[in-house]
Amino acid sequence: MKFLIVKISLLIFCFNAYPSAKKDSVLAKLKMEISKKKQYDQHKILRIQKLRSEITSRPNTIFDTYLKLFEEYEYNKFDSAYFYGKKMLDLSYKEHDVIKQNESKVKLASLLLHAGMFKETFDYLKEINPILLDRQYKYEYYALKSGAYSNLAIYNSDENFTKTYNAKAVSYLDSAIVFCEPKSFDLLFTLGNRQVVAGETNGPPKYFLELLKHYKLTEHNRARLLTGLAAFYQQDDQNDQRIWLLAESAISDIRSSTKETLATLLLAEDLFKHGDVDNAYLFIQQSRDDAGFYGNRLRKLKIESVLPDIAAQVNIATQREKNKFLTYFLSISLVTAVISLVSFMIFIQFRKLKIQDEVIKAKNIELNQVNDQLLITNDKLREFATVNEKYIGYFFAVISGYILKLDRLKKNVERKILAKRFGEILPGLKDIDIKQERAILFNTFDRVFMSIFPNFVTVFNSLLKQEDQIWPKAPELLNTDLRIFALIRLGIIDNQAIATILEYSVNTIYVYKMRIKAKALVPGDEFDKIIMMVKAV
């Protein structure tokens, strides 16, 4: 027993020392992996295409194929996973297979929990008869119930309910442990997860460390394990270890094409808390992109609540750089003024000498160039200030509006829940017209943009033949084609970012851009340069 304690202590000591020395390198490694996301995603797409071909080529195993497709999409894309989960359930009903019906509901309930849809998760859980499940599915069922209550405790974050929910989560984990195979990954992971859920993170994470040391893990399981392990390193003096764990977890998520990921969000929050604003902003954007791709509504709300604070700090840092630039500019201006004075004195003293005339001419040319450059710089600064002022005001107005709406909706739902008027909740939610909200958002964007760049549409159409020109129909100010290049004029050139803002696929954005440039009177590169030269008022 003493030998075991010493062994675990040494393992923890070695583990603590490693991340502290590797923090910077692991963040650089994570950035490198982010640049290779498309490669990893392509591997998953090929696996999925191969599985889809089995639906027609191997009809006798269609349920198993649906299950494999569900598992490929489960942590990658909610809509696709839900489609194949429903296929499994529909097929089990068609075949009157009660066991497969229950297994399908376990999978669907797990998926809905990933997406933050608690009500739907509990609805499915109520329909499941655990007696009909085999040992593995019983483990998944009880682990799922634990996860539902654990996530509900985090979501509610209310001391009147959290303690009860966490107690239920621990109880269901105990039930899940009963159905684990001895010395299996599930057993050790669940025991470690129980420590986290029960708040027993002051002790050594012996189960998680055992898995790291002795078990061969998939990238997905490694990501889950490292995120759980990070919960044991919450103290300020353990920050390097925690960042290392979360960064490594995020790397494993990228390599497994996992979009339903918590690690990048936790990493961004940790970095922001300790002053690393640039990295925090980069990783919170990655987390936002993944949540948007997967379709996790709850995660997107959480990210959008954190993102403004980080973005504000980025703006402050940018302002500091501007101030430095202004200081340098004033210093250069002073030096230039001194040079001008000296040049003038030389001109007075040696005006009869031809060589001095040439020097003065050269100085004048030089000063004119400096003045021209300063005029250009001033124009850019004024334009940047105008765009910042209007769009920051627009950004906060929109966010404030949505916060007020969410607050009213939250209070309304809370009142109805407390009054047990559950039937009134869903009709109330149906009053929220997402399509209308999106139209208002785009309309506001168009108005702000056109107030800054009133000549944008005219300049844009001057690059096209008359029959190809695009003029929005009243009362629209911009349409989709114009809006894409409006975002480019604002400096948003990444297709993924544009696709996320306009809620199109990356491929659709690419097609829109190529279609316009193919009709342009100038080459594609020249087209982009002219768009970027549209002046702000």
Q: Cα(198)–Cα(172) distance, rounded to whole angstroms? A: 12
pLDDT at 361: 72
Write down the pLDDT at residue 325. 57
**What was the pLDDT predicted at 3?**
43
Maximum Cα–Cα distance for the chain, whole Å? 109
What's the pLDDT score for residue 245? Answer: 92
Among 144, 128, 133, 135, residue whose Cα is nearest residue 99: 133
Token pair of 438 as six digits: 């999106």
What's 464's DSSP letter?
A: B
Q: Can you give the pLDDT at residue 536?
A: 78
Phi, psi of 503 (to 5 degrees): 60, 45
Measured between alpha carbons, how far is 90 from 105 in angstroms, rounded to an integer? 11
Residue 432, Cβ neighbours under 10 Å: how many? Answer: 11
- Across 198-292, where does the E strand assignment appear? none
Close Cβ partners of 94 (under 8 Å, ≥ 6 residues apart): none
Using alpha carbons, select from 132, 88, 95, 93 the residue that is nearest to residue 110.
88
pLDDT along the chain (537 residues), means of 10: 42 49 83 92 92 83 92 92 94 94 94 89 92 94 92 77 88 93 92 91 92 92 92 88 92 91 86 82 86 79 71 62 60 69 69 65 60 50 54 56 66 75 68 73 83 88 89 85 88 86 88 88 88 84
Whether 124 and 112 have beta carbons less than 8 Å apart is answered as: yes
- Domains of the chain, by residue range, sit at 448-537
Structure tokens at 68: 């494999």
- Cα–Cα distances (Å) from 390 to 152, 383, 385, 400, 448, in that order, read 39, 11, 9, 15, 7
User: Can you name the CATH fold of 448-537?
Assistant: Arc Repressor Mutant, subunit A (1.10.10)
Distance CA 125, CA 104 (A): 11
Q: Which residue has the tokens 């094409």?
A: 257
Q: Is 12 in contact with 209 (CB distance < 8 Å)?
A: yes
Q: What is the pLDDT of residue 2?
A: 40
3-state class of 520 per DSSP? strand
- Residue 174 has what pLDDT? 93
Residue 179: burial class (beta carbons within 10 Å; 0-12, 13-18, 19+): buried
Q: What pLDDT is attached to residue 5?
A: 41
C-alpha span between 106 and 140 (Å, rounded): 7
- The phi and psi torsions of 486 (rounded to 5 degrees) equal -65, -45
> With the CA atoms of 129, 130, 133 and 135 taken in that order, what torsion angle do they form, in degrees rounded to the nearest 10?
180
Residues 209, 192: Cα–Cα separation, whole Å: 9
Give me the count of residues in the chain. 537
Give the model's pLDDT for residue 425. Answer: 67
Half-sphere exposure of residue 330: CA atoms within 13 angstroms, side-chain side: 5
pLDDT at 1: 38
Tell me how crowded residue 393 is: count the other CB atoms within 10 A of its CB: 11
What pLDDT score does 244 carry? Answer: 93
